[in-house]
A and B are shown apart, each in its own frame.
Chain A
Amino acid sequence: MQDAVTTMTVTGARGRPASNERWREIARNAFPFLVVGGIWEVVAWAGVFPHRLFPTLEEVALSFVQLTVSGILPHHAIETLLRLLSGFALAALFGIGIGVLMGRSRRAEDILLPLVSICAPIPGLAYAPLFLLWFGLGDVSAVLLVGFVSSFPVIFNSWTGVKAVKEIWLRSAQSMGADDRKLFSHVILPGALPYILTGLRLGLAQAWRILVAVEMLAAVPWGLGWLIFGAREFLNTDAMLAGIVVIAVIGLALEKLVFEKIEHYTIVRWGMISA
């Protein structure tokens, strides 16, 4: 502690050690990207690979700006997000429903578990051609497939969550006169929530991974996956890389902004896990 204070006063710029510290952290995080970016630039300029296949970073940035200004990139991104949300909403609805049912009723568990455990281990994308044949090319197949695939983690986690609710909580609630509805909404659901949220988080991650590939296969008119795949035909490597950047940003934002927030507001507040 003493050391930290003295170094701060020595190196810190005129009594603002906090901002100095923050700058240092930013610099530390930016450094690896600068190194990798520099290597990329050198390789691109040296002409080791054909220029069309390995564009410089300026060109990628330029095509990113152009595509954004002309509204093409936002349009693709919005369509992709809509598809993601509708598929995921299906998965959440059916996944939590089936999972909770399986957790509550022995009969439902016995009947549904074998079916779910047969379908779950098959990689989601393997179903894609089947869905394309059954539901045609386009949005319906894409959304259904994303929903189908991402519902498995939700089902498994809600099921485990409901079964993990402590017996004592149930009995004490019952002895205090809670009816079935109250028991469900005040004991079982909050008790299972950490698991359900984990399931939703895994499901969303799965949906996101699958969706990009599904868009490539299902020939949807707009969508980031399609943008990347279509750019290949015209050797537009810069547009492709710009699309990949957007995909990375959305993926990161989903994780950081959506789930860490939800987790913070619900579970931590209810004291289910410590912050």
Chain B
Amino acid sequence: MSETTQRLRSLRRAAIALIVAATLYEAAARSGCFAPALLPTLPTVAHTLWNMLADGSIIEHAAFTMYRVMFGFLLAVAVGIPLGVLMARFQRLENFFLPLVSALMPIPSFALVPLFMLWFGIGNLTTILIVFYAATFPMLFNTWSGVRSVNPIWLRAAGALGADEHKLFWKVIIPGASPFIITGMRQAFLRCWIAVVGAEMIAASDWGLGWVIFDAKEFLNTDVMLASLVAIGAIGFVFERAVFGSIERATIQRWGMTRIAKG
């Protein structure tokens, strides 16, 4: 069997699977076994999503969520990369920070939400700090192991060719560690995305996709809930594929650090 027919068959099966799943859901929703408020039909969900898009409310919620994610994420990058590099380069700093990091890392970010709510109140500050906390550790850890895993031969070769500290750092260490750093960013973003939804639910402000979902529960607006779920999934997917995928292509693949996976 040729490659293309195999692919076509996979696509057909995927489509059939999705259609069957949707039909089953629709049948369950229409059968009346469950309250319609709890199990809205797919057209209702689509209609709600369309309405929320049309009046701009979901876009505004998404904008608030994105603002928190990006703010926390950038903070984490700004702290995680330098600290990771410093830890990998200076033994003393590593000795000081590594025990602290290993002790803080197993604490789930959500466990800190109530504490931060007491300290910083409800709203943007708490959410951003939770996102920051969630994203810092993957960033830090990956940078640290990336810099440590730079091939010592490269360092010696660059040194022998007359590179000074400055050049060594920017031309050898940073590109050498970049696959790890980019993996770290990817992981950190994923963590951010998880953390922001939880933080918005618990430390409820009045905007944000996580808050919409949680708020909709109070009024049994399951359609709003499902519509926001779709939005959350779509944004996360786009970022994962489009943004980080293209960063990866523009940097490490071009520098030849990883080979493009075959098949």
Assess whether B13 is interfacial by the CB under 8 Å rule.
yes
Interface residues of A in 91-129 (CB under 8 A from B): 106-107, 109-115, 118, 121-129
Please report the C-alpha to C-alpha distance between residue A248 and residue B104 in the assembled complex, in whole angstroms.
Answer: 7
Please report the C-alpha to C-alpha distance between residue A272 and residue B110 in the assembled complex, in whole angstroms.
Answer: 36
B111, A247: Cβ atoms under 8 Å?
yes
For B74-118 the 0/1 string (1 means CB < 8 A from A) is 000000000000000000000111011011101111111111011
Which of A71-79, A233-241, A259-267 contacts its partner?
A: A233-241
Assess whether A90 is interfacial by the CB under 8 Å rule.
no
CB distance from A224 to the nearest CB of B (A): 8
Which B-chain residue is minimally distant from A233 (CB atoms)? B114
CB distance from B9 to the nearest CB of A (A): 7
CB distance from B199 to the nearest CB of A (A): 9
Assess whether A42 is interfacial by the CB under 8 Å rule.
no
Which A-chain residue is minimally distant from B108 (CB atoms)? A209
User: Which A residues touch B240, using CB under 8 A?
Assistant: 121
Please report the C-alpha to C-alpha distance between residue A36 and residue B103 in the assembled complex, in whole angstroms.
Answer: 12
Assess whether B140 is interfacial by the CB under 8 Å rule.
no
Assess whether A32 is interfacial by the CB under 8 Å rule.
yes
Assess whether A155 is interfacial by the CB under 8 Å rule.
no
B97, A32: Cβ atoms under 8 Å?
yes
A129, B213: Cβ atoms under 8 Å?
yes
A225, B111: Cβ atoms under 8 Å?
yes
Please report the C-alpha to C-alpha distance between residue A106 and residue B5 in the assembled complex, in whole angstroms.
Answer: 14
B210, A114: Cβ atoms under 8 Å?
no
Assess whether A195 is interfacial by the CB under 8 Å rule.
no
Which of A14-22, A130-138, A176-184 contacts its partner?
A: A130-138
User: Which B residues touch A134, using CB under 8 A?
Assistant: 38
Which B-chain residue is minimally distant from A252 (CB atoms)? B106
For B222-233 the 0/1 string (1 means CB < 8 A from A) is 100110110011
Which of B104, B110, B117, B118 has the largest count of A CB atoms less than 10 A from its CB? B110
CB distance from B243 to the nearest CB of A (A): 13
For the complex, would chain B's binding face be called helix, strand, loop or mixed by DSSP majority? Answer: helix
With contacts defined as CB atoms under 8 Å apart, how many contacts are there between chain A and chain B in the complex?
Answer: 154
B225, A129: Cβ atoms under 8 Å?
yes
B114, A229: Cβ atoms under 8 Å?
yes
A121, B237: Cβ atoms under 8 Å?
yes
Which A-chain residue is minimally distant from B230 (CB atoms)? A122
Instruction: Assign chain B's interface to a size class.
Output: 35 or more
For the complex, would chain A's binding face be called helix, strand, loop or mixed by DSSP majority? Answer: helix
Please report the C-alpha to C-alpha distance between residue A124 and residue B110 in the assembled complex, in whole angstroms.
Answer: 13
Assess whether B170 is interfacial by the CB under 8 Å rule.
no
User: Which A residues touch B210, using CB under 8 A?
Assistant: 125-126
Assess whether A51 is interfacial by the CB under 8 Å rule.
no
Assess whether B18 is interfacial by the CB under 8 Å rule.
yes
For A63-86 the 0/1 string (1 means CB < 8 A from B) is 000000000000000000000000
B233, A235: Cβ atoms under 8 Å?
no
Assess whether A244 is interfacial by the CB under 8 Å rule.
yes
With A126-B229, A129-B217, A134-B38 as contacts: A33 and B103 at CB distance below 8 Å: yes
Interface residues of A in 27-73 (CB under 8 A from B): 28-33, 35-36, 49, 53-54
A130, B114: Cβ atoms under 8 Å?
no
Instruction: Assign chain A's interface to a size class.
Output: 35 or more
Please report the C-alpha to C-alpha distance between residue A53 and residue B118 in the assembled complex, in whole angstroms.
Answer: 7
With A110-B10, A232-B117 as contacts: A127 and B17 at CB distance below 8 Å: no
- A132: which of B109, B110, B209, B217 is its contact (CB, 8 Å)? B217
Which of A5-13, A165-173, A186-194, A210-218 contacts its partner?
A: A210-218
User: Which B residues touch A212, using CB under 8 A?
Assistant: 108, 110-111
Please report the C-alpha to C-alpha distance between residue A231 and residue B14 in the assembled complex, in whole angstroms.
Answer: 48
Assess whether B144 is interfacial by the CB under 8 Å rule.
no
25 CB-based A-B contacts, threshold 8 Å: A31-B95, A32-B95, A32-B99, A33-B100, A111-B17, A114-B14, A115-B18, A123-B236, A125-B110, A125-B197, A127-B229, A128-B201, A132-B217, A213-B113, A216-B110, A225-B111, A228-B114, A232-B115, A232-B118, A237-B115, A240-B115, A243-B111, A244-B115, A247-B106, A250-B106
A binding-site residues for B, Cβ under 8 Å: 28-33, 35-36, 49, 53-54, 106-107, 109-115, 118, 121-130, 132-134, 208-210, 212-213, 216-217, 224-225, 228-229, 231-232, 235, 237, 240-241, 243-244, 247-248, 250-252, 254-255
Contacts A32-B100, A208-B108, A217-B214 known; 4 new A-B pairs at CB < 8 A: A111-B14, A112-B17, A123-B198, A213-B201
B binding-site residues for A, Cβ under 8 Å: 9-10, 13-14, 16-18, 21, 38, 95-97, 99-100, 102-104, 106-115, 117-119, 193-194, 197-198, 201-202, 209-210, 213-214, 216-217, 220, 222, 225-226, 228-229, 232-233, 236-237, 240
